[in-house]
Structure 1
Amino acid sequence: MYRQVATALSFTSLVLGQQAGTLTEEIHPSLPIEVCTAPGSCTKEDTTVVLDANWRWTHVTDGYTNCYTGNAWNETACPDGVTCAANCAIDGADYEGTYGITTPSDGALKLNFVTKNQNGQNVGSRVYLMKGDDKYRLFNLLNKEFTFDVDVSNLPCGLNGAVYFSEMDEDGGMSRFEGNKAGAKYGTGYCDSQCPQDIKFINGEANTEGWGGTDGNSGTGKYGTCCAEMDIWEANSDATAYTPHPCKVNEQTRCESEEECGAGDNRYAGLCDKDGCDFNSFRLGNKEFYGPGMTVDTSKPFTVVTQFITDDNTDTGALKEIRRFYVQDGTVIPNSQTVIEGVDPTNSITDEFCEQQKTAFGDTNYFKTVGGLSAMGKSLEKMVLVLSVWDDHAAAMNWLDSNYPTDGDPSKPGVARGRCDAEAGLPENVEAEHPDASVTYSNIKIGAINSTFTAA
């Protein structure tokens, strides 16, 4: 996955550390989930969601002056990362009015793509599942299945409605880093396998060193924030993929060099496997499986089921397989079979599949170098659920739904990933043409294998 976070609005209180602001009350929207032991035997859990800190208004602790405006830090408040964290606060969020985040029904979350508001507009969002006011809800996915309903009918080419797990700290890094005074309550501590360098605060310090703007409201700094990531669902109405991304580290870790961050020519030397081992039905030869009117009909809602199979069928066993299937209109739909020369027919992710796929596509198998499914499984014991919608300033989402690389021959195995036009995902195009796009997630469940869904 090639992710660049779309940093949203930056607006613009003295104590040590990244502060929690008090100018806007922080109220977490409700998003209950269910925990299941057998079909029809599920218990509701009163969970909520919290907006990522990167989207929040960052201002001086003793007033309304911005610490970050556009794509630049306030040089007076932020002469360095430690001082900036002491001088600046991230504040509460107006989830619906500013960010277009709503809960249309119990157990449902709708994320709007572009939201007009009194400060201009917000683009995209990312939220985390909370258990209580101050901690993320941790998941152990081994020997479990994770299920949710999704409606991508209003999510066109170039957009990504993503559901995934990241190996974040339960408290957002508050206990590990004395500079972080905001914690999970304000959505701190993000990390993923791309080791993103556009995160404003990492390890309780502002990422000001080497910061440079990449577009009108985003930038990157010297440091990145790395951790293993399990992409359950990266999709729009025309393409989808699910992808494990293991890392050499087993907790949120700040990368401090281009090599550690896997930046530039160091992509296959970093702490994490940025490519992952993806299962994209279109890329793997079945071009009629997923899309409007197809086997999985994206013009209407459906259920996504992902199972994490261990070698001994226990919660402590080694991860050996990740299975996928769908449920729509009461019918269970098995995942598509691979139709690629050199790849044995399969519809799940195993180390053998990944080895064959990388060879067939001519891709570097950094997935294996980093530890493959075994390494991924160790991280799956303590994951935080992430739900988002975003556009891609780095690669226009071509890696998901078009030809990638864009100058590659689409007849060559692995290049064609979807039917979308390569320019559809350019931010200036998709933001202008589809500001009203949205994705809705609902009926989130976690439980024993074959416990979270029913079929007619």
Structure 2
Amino acid sequence: MYLLISLILLSFLNVSFSQKVGKFSPEVHPPITWQECADDGSCKTMNGEIVIDANWRWVHSEQGTNCYTGNTWNPTLCPDDKTCAENCYLDGANYESVYGITTEDDSVRLNFITQSQGKNIGSRTFLMANSTNYQMFYVLGQEFSFDVDVSNLDCGLNGALYLVSMDSDGGIARFPSNEAGAQYGTGYCDAQCPRDLKFISGSANVEGWIPSSNNPNTGYGNHGSCCAEMDLWEANNMATALTPHPCDTSSQTVCESDSCGGATSSNRYGGLCDPDGCDYNPYRMGNTTFFGPGQTVDTKSVMTVVTQFITNDGTTTGTLKSIKRLYVQNGQVISQSESTVPGVAGNEITEDFCHNQKQVFGDKDSFTKHGGLAAMGDALKNGMVLVLSLWDDYLADMLWLDSNYPTTSPVTEPGVARGPCSTSSGTPTDVESKYPNAYVVYSNIKVGPINSTFKNN
């Protein structure tokens, strides 16, 4: 999944030169708590921290000259990958004033638009175990739950909470000259193999950089950063999707140009990962009254979202056989809606569900090609980093989540209708103009054995 970058950004290096840390702003992570639960439902409070992705940070020369402005590199400081990494420094973040990120106890609030030195749009953050390492979550055979408030997210916005197979230290061990690491939010990867990252795996991504034609802040380079991705939650107040994206490898891997696949390559399906995933969107699966304002799951109110990763033998080392979704709201436990699409039965993500969905919807089955649920289970078993984010979509206006998509297909075709939003909605200029005060709040994060993180009344 792609997030949009707004201020000056960057991350860096190659083993022959250093990923430097700037000294203009101290890096102080906002604190947050989460809970680890046991079989009996008792939960232990864990202390964590929030860090913003390196791609949102100011990157500059030692004297403070921008290495990247708008959507282009400084040609003097960054004529090539090596020189750029030698010249540029990654600095600390001012979380509230610049990025609109605040925490309180067990919650984090991400504001959409923040005006300070410049205009910041959205954010991508990670949960840390301490000041230098990401928290690794091992959820195979377990469940992951959290509370979320999407009441202020309209069409075209996406409050996304998901897991990715990043290095726990941000890449320091694999790239020893990396001086920044997880403390500064380095090492991002996902199943889209994003090429908009300024530095990947210790190497700058300057060479081949193409500025975006419709986004004044982003572009993409020759390299991408691939890894497995488990989208626990992509949602606004009109639609939601739960989507596993397996890869051929569980760990973060660099790709080159069109071999990355994804939206910025000539062959979307030419990479190591499944860019589409196997999604469960209640609206797309036929129930148009399950999720939304005043619906069964009422997006005007806070809800608890529970995702269960069921294995074939009920253990945390077995093979992933299904992914289940529950909601808890107003004291009631609500199961995922059942599919009403002919030929696609059930309300869980299983191999049969995914196979049938791809056939009925006419979608390319890259899910099976990249190992399906078994490969996703391997990634979950190896541990993944939690991402908490808010973004709008310069590539497809978020229509793939909350409207009819692709827009060239009749809405009567199975799988095209994904949400009630207009196909003219979601244009970032409109979204940013209409909803500058939008925000999402994530809270009450819990991990534990099946049925341990919520009360079943």
**TM, length-normalised to structure 2:** 0.96
Q: Map 1:290-309 to 2 at 5 A.
A: 290-309=291-310
Q: Deviations over 1:8-66 (max 9, x none)?
A: 21179999322111211101111111000035400011011100000000001x21101
1:17/1:205 contact within 8 Å kept: no
Q: Distance in 2 between matches of 1:455 and 1:370?
A: 36
Moved more, 87-96 or 175-184: 175-184
Q: 1:240, 1:400 within 8 Å by CA — same for their partners in 2? A: yes
Whether contact under 8 Å (2:9, 2:54) holds in the other structure is no
| Matched residue type, 2:105 | D
Tell me the secondary structure at the aligned position of residue 32 of structure 2.
coil
Tell me, in whole angstroms, the C-alpha distance in 1 between the residues paired with 2:354 and 2:53: 32
Moved more, 422-431 or 184-193: 422-431
Deviating beyond 2 angstroms after TM superposition, the runs of 4 or more aligned structure 1 residues are 11-16, 259-265
Q: What amino acid maps onto 1:4 in structure 2? A: Y
The equivalent of 2:151 in structure 1 is 153
Q: Partner of 1:80 in structure 2?
A: 80
Aligned residue in 1 for 2:94: 94
Give 5+ residue unaligned stretches, structure 1: none
* Equivalent residues in 2 for 1:53-452, closer than 5 Å: 53-60=54-61, 62-103=62-103, 105-117=104-116, 119-214=117-212, 215-262=215-262, 263-344=264-345, 346-381=346-381, 382-452=383-453
Distance in 2 between residues matched to 1:52 and 1:293, nearest whole Å: 35
Deviation at 1:245, TM superposition (A): 0.1
Q: Is the 8 A contact 1:39 1:452 kept in 2?
A: no
**CA distances 1:305-337 after superposition (whole Å, capped 9, x unpaired):** 000011111111110100001000000001000
Instruction: Note the alpha carbon deviations across 1:56-84, whole angstroms, 9 max, x for none.
Output: 00001x21101111111111111211221
Give the Cα separation in 2 of the matches to 1:174 and 1:8: 26
In 2, the alpha carbon distance for the partners of 1:441 and 1:399 equals 23
What letter is aligned with 1:109?
V
- The AA in structure 2 aligned to 1:107 is D
Structure 1 residues 380 and 400: alpha-carbon distance in aligned structure 2, compared to 1, 3 A threshold: same
SS of alignment partner, residue 307 of structure 1:
strand
In the alignment, is the contact (CA less than 8 A) between 2:297 and 2:329 conserved in 1?
yes
State which of 2, 19, 22 in structure 2 corresponds to 1:4. Answer: 2
C-alpha separation in 1, matches of 2:412 and 2:261: 32
Cα pair 2:9 2:56 within 8 Å, conserved: no
Considering only aligned residues, what root-mean-square deviation do their CA atoms show, in Å? 1.5
Contact 1:146–1:447 (Cα < 8 Å) also in 2: yes
Query: Does the residue aligned with 2:31 lie in a helix, a strand or coil?
Result: coil
Q: 1:38 to 1:384 in 2, by over 3 A?
A: same
Which amino acid in 2 is paired with 1:145?
Answer: E
Cα distance in 1 between the residues matched to 2:363 and 2:9: 42
2:352 and 2:113 map into 1 onto residues whose CA distance is 41
Runs of 5+ consecutive residues of structure 2 not aligned to the other structure: none
Q: Could you tell me whether the CA contact under 8 Å between 1:245 and 1:272 is conserved in 2?
A: yes
**Rounded Cα–Cα distance in structure 1 between residues aligned with 2:384 and 2:53:** 16
In 2, Cα distance between the equivalents of 1:352 and 1:31? Answer: 39
> Partner amino acid for 1:449?
I
Describe the SS at the equivalent of 2:85.
helix
**CA-to-aligned-CA distance 1:149-182 (integer Å, 9 cap, x gap):** 0000011110000000000001111111245221
Q: Does the aligned pair in 1 maintain the 2:112–2:390 contact within 8 Å?
A: yes
